[in-house]
Amino acid sequence: HSRASPSAVMEVVPVPSLSDNYAYLLADRASGTCAAVDPVEPAKVLRAAEESGLRVVMVLTTHSHWDHSGGNAEIASKLGDGVPIVAGRNDGVETCTKPVGHGDVLELGRISISVLDTPCHTAGHVCYLAKLNAEDQVAEPGVVFTGDTLFVGGSGNLNSGTPEQMAHALHSVLGGLPDETRVFCGHNYTAKNLRWALQIEPENRAAQEKLQQAEELDSRKEFIHSTIGQEKSFNPFMRAALSSIQEWAGTPGDASAALLKVRQGKDAWGRSLQL
């Protein structure tokens, strides 16, 4: 597994799952404990924990779709009753034993995990922002697990949600985090997302460079990192708040309408590739 180590204390281990999903271990190295994020294939996740010398003490579920929550029952049976299964309180995750909402904070060793409500893709979708506790802050960036709300270069389907909800989630909730916050999303759709971004902004140098990096890393089956600041530089869903994207969309002054145009355009473009 390629590792992302914001510090010696806090570490993120990506666990590729299914065809294009990512589960993760969020580890507190000092205590040797970790949280499993969306462990859809429990055997893989538990093996990764064992290889890393970690004990899973918490399960963090971003949302109810089976490819994120579908491993919860099995991992719960293996870990026992003492391990909370955390999920958004409005999301109908059947296996949830600890429902959470915006502003709730969970502790994992010296790591604080804040819950961010990002309803849209599902009614109770949440993201998890992890930071070292204040006394351990060595100017380390936080990390955010964004499920199917924010992808590298893209965003999840609106489903029963509204463009206003997704715009709020991306531009205010996630977009309000420090630019250096590292992004760990639910799927690797990165190369396709960036090809669409370049349909909208063909001259966007950041998108060109990230696409090249994504293609290289995909060929080596390596994990693709991003940050909130990077997403603001190339992700058209994040950039729907900008006048340049609103101009492309024909929706001056309306970020939600621009985001919907980006979504509809990407869906139509994706269908055209399959013809």
81, two tokens: 């009753």
Instruction: Mark whether 187 is an active-site residue.
Output: yes
Among 28, 38, 63, 171, the one annotated catalytic? 63
Residue 55 phi, psi (nearest 5): -115, 125
Based on the number of CB atoms within 10 Å of its own CB, is 208 exposed (0-12), middle (13-18) or buried (19 or more)? Answer: middle
Query: 68, 125, 168, 171: which one is catalytic?
Result: 68
Active site residue 171: no
Which one of 67, 91, 117, 125 is the catalytic residue? 67
Q: Which of 125, 168, 171, 187 is catalytic?
A: 187
Q: Give CA–CA dist 237/120, Å, rounded.
A: 14
Q: Among the options 38, 91, 117, 121, which is catalytic?
A: 121
CA distances from 177 to 128, 169, 183, 263 (A): 12, 11, 11, 23
Is 102 part of the annotated catalytic residue set? no
Does residue 65 have an active-site annotation?
A: yes
Asked if 143 contacts 27 with a C-beta cutoff of 8 angstroms, the reply is no
**Active site annotation includes 63:** yes
Tokens at 27, concatenated: 């580890």
Give the separation between CA 71 and CA 75, rounded to whole angstroms: 6
1 annotated active-site = no
Catalytic option among 38, 91, 117, 148: 148
Pick the catalytic residue from 28, 65, 168, 171.
Answer: 65
Residue 168 a catalytic site member:
no
Q: Return the active site residues.
A: 63, 65, 67-68, 121, 148, 187
